[in-house]
Structures are given as C-alpha cells and as structure tokens.
Structure 1
Amino acid sequence: MHADSLGFIFLNTVLANNFVLAMFLGLCPFLGVSGKLNTAIPMGIATGFVMLVSSISAYAVNLVLVALDIEFLRLIAYIAIIASAVQLVEMTLKKYSPALFRSLGIFLPLITTNCAILGLALFQTFKDYNFAQSVSYALGAGTGFTLAIALMAGLREKLALSKLPSITQGAALSLMLGGLLSLSFMGFAGLGST
C-alpha cells in the first residue's frame, strides 16, 4: 500500500498513529467517559463526527486563508470551527437523545477542548493533504478514537466484576489499562513500512 493512498492513511491513523494510544491526544474523554460501553461508544461517535466536520471545514478554511495570505489566523479559525461542530452535536443529542445527552454530561461540551480534534486539523494542514486524504485522515482518527475508548470501556466493565486489590482500583487501574492498551497499539508502529 502506498503511503499516500486513502486506505493507508485510514489504517495508519486507526492503528499505528492512533490519536489516543500512540499520540496521547484526547486523554480526558478517554479516561473520563470510558467507564461504560453505553456511554463510551456514543462519545466516540460524537467525537468522530466532530473530527470529520472539523476536518472538512478546516480544509476549506485553510484554502481561503492561504489565498488571502493570512495563514496566521489558522489556529483561531480552527477553534471556531470545532466549537461550532460541537454545538451542532450537542443540540442534536439534546433534541433526539436526552438520556444520552445527560449521561455524557460535561464531557460532551468538552469535545471543544479535545486536543485530538485540533491536532487533526493542524496535522492534516501541515501534511498538506488534499480533500480526499483529509477526509480519510478524519475518518481514521474518529474510528481510532472510538476503537480506543470502546476497548477501554470494555476492559473497565470486565474488571469492575473482578476482585482487585484496593490500591489498583479507580484512577490507578484506568491509567494502567491505558498504558497497556498503548503498548499493544505501539506494536502496529511498523505497519506498512518497507
């Protein structure tokens, strides 16, 4: 698979360069919302949707900023795009799924400050991806985020049923699980290299 192909970009972003488990971006919702699968998966999907909308919008805004020679406004423009996308998700969830809206709590508006989303917009700009590559990159990042948070939630649900020493419960266990998941995803680092 060629390094510029859409499949390679997608697969590489999901596994080898997973935003959460390899780049350590977006750890707040990863640790905060991964207590149960029924909240982790919708949070991953919501974050993935915001990533996709932000990626497409950032691509278009970057074209305008480059054409007007005002690239220095890139960061503030991307932040405004992300905040708008989160508002869209928040209003939609509040209207169509109030129970999920309440269960996600404070973590839903905090998608705005999720560094993985801003990182996605900045990385795709600096990698000089075209539109199709940007969409593939965003879909891979969203899928990777959802995969990571779902794996973490599944592990935490299983371990909640186990007898563990008190010293390893709570935040300590979450951090240990996150570290082990990260190590397992680091095994994909050589994927696709020649």
Structure 2
Amino acid sequence: MSVHPLVIFFASIFTSNMIFSNFLGMCSFIAVSKEIETATGLGIAVTFVLTITTVLNYFVYKLLIHFGLEYLRFIVFIIVIAAFVQILEMVIERYFENLYYALGIFLPLITVNCAILGVSLFMVIRDYNFMQSLFFGFGSGLGWALAIISMAGIRSRINENNLPEGLRGAPITLIITGIMALAFMGFSGIVSIS
C-alpha cells in the first residue's frame, strides 16, 4: 500500500518528528535553541539542506542500485550532504554574514547532523518514490525547524535566574524537550509513517 505524499509530509512534521520521536539532531537542537533568531536561521538552513539532500540522495541511490553499488549508500550520502552543506555555508557567509557568525560552528556541523543522514536512510528503508521522498525531506526539515524554534521561544521566556542551580542550562532544556515530545505524542493518533 502506497502512502500519499501529503500524509508523509504531515506525519514527518508532527507524529514522526526527527527530534521528538527519533531524537535525531539533538546536539545542535540543544546548543542553538537559546535565541529565536539564531534558531530560526538554523531551522531554515536545516530544512533547506534536508529537502535538497533528500532529493539528491534519492537520485544517487537509484543510480547506485542501477550499478549494483547499493552498499556504498552511507559513504555517498555523507559526501552529497557534506558537499551541499559546504556550498550553503559559502552562500550564507557571503550574503547573510550576521547569521553566519550567529550560527558559528553549528552551520558546518549540519553535515554531521544525524537527522540529515537519518532522513535519507529512512527514505531508502521505507522505499519511498520521488514525491514521497521530496515531501518527507521537506516535512522533516519543517518539523525540525518547528522543534528548534519552539524550544528557543520557550527558553527565551524562562528566567534562568529563578531556576535552581542544578536545572540551569542543559538540564532544563532536556526536561522541556521531554515535555514537548510528550505533547507531540498527542498527534500520534492522527497519522503515522513508521
């Protein structure tokens, strides 16, 4: 049974969110979610990278299968992701200098963001066609962006001065992430692609 691309799109945002259901991409999620502007910039960058690299990796994978080189998919997927992120980094540095410095080391680290590779691998495991892969990549990016922007909004509202010392920083972020994951579980009855 083939799943409609729009079902995959909405499921990848809400019920199969890369952060809240698979916990992929947590390092940059926790580190960059301190300010809304920076989180929005990284969310847009990750969405863009996820969408384009999923499509590129779809075609690369189909080409590898054609030549019987499917076992090289991990290496080739990482090369495609790294090349695309390098190009994106150069564009952001050239045209969005403030965002480039705000993102700092986390922009080139999109290359090793496990959510990026995870989406390409899920696409292969679930045997998605082109449209399903496109909607899955874009929806996963939007879901990741929604998660990091929401976290940045919550963290900006928390007055850490009133928190006990042991909860400041990463501990409260992990607690909020868990609560947000529970909230997103409320969407689980709507649609699922797992």
1:43 equivalent in alignment to 2:42: yes
| Distance in 1 (alpha carbons) for counterparts of 2:22 and 2:2 | 19
Aligned to 2:111: 112
Note if contact 2:61-2:70 (Cα within 8 Å) is conserved in structure 1. Answer: yes
The alignment's TM-score, normalised by the length of structure 2, stands at 0.95
1:94 equivalent in alignment to 2:84: no
Q: Percent identity?
A: 41
Change (3 A) 1:91 1:175: same
| Distance in 1 (alpha carbons) for counterparts of 2:4 and 2:15 | 15
Letter in 2 for 1:52: T
Cα displacement (A) at 1:42: 0.7
Aligned to 1:192: 191
| Distance in 1 (alpha carbons) for counterparts of 2:184 and 2:47 | 19
Aligned to 1:8: 7
Cα displacement (A) at 1:166: 2.3
| Distance in 2 (alpha carbons) for counterparts of 1:162 and 1:188 | 33
Cα displacement (A) at 1:99: 1.0
Aligned to 1:26: 25
Moved over 3 A (4+): none
| Distance in 1 (alpha carbons) for counterparts of 2:130 and 2:6 | 14
1:166 equivalent in alignment to 2:165: yes
Q: Any idea what the Cα deviations from partners look like across 1:79-100, whole Å, max 9, x if unmatched?
A: 0010011111101110001111
Matched pairs, number: 192
Note if contact 1:3-1:9 (Cα within 8 Å) is conserved in structure 2. Answer: no
Note if contact 2:160-2:168 (Cα within 8 Å) is conserved in structure 1. Answer: no
Aligned to 1:75: 74
Q: Any idea what the Cα deviations from partners look like across 1:49-80, whole Å, max 9, x if unmatched?
A: 11111101111101110110110111100000
| Distance in 1 (alpha carbons) for counterparts of 2:30 and 2:153 | 12
Note if contact 1:14-1:143 (Cα within 8 Å) is conserved in structure 2. Answer: yes
Backbone CA RMSD of aligned residues? 1.4
Aligned to 1:149: 148
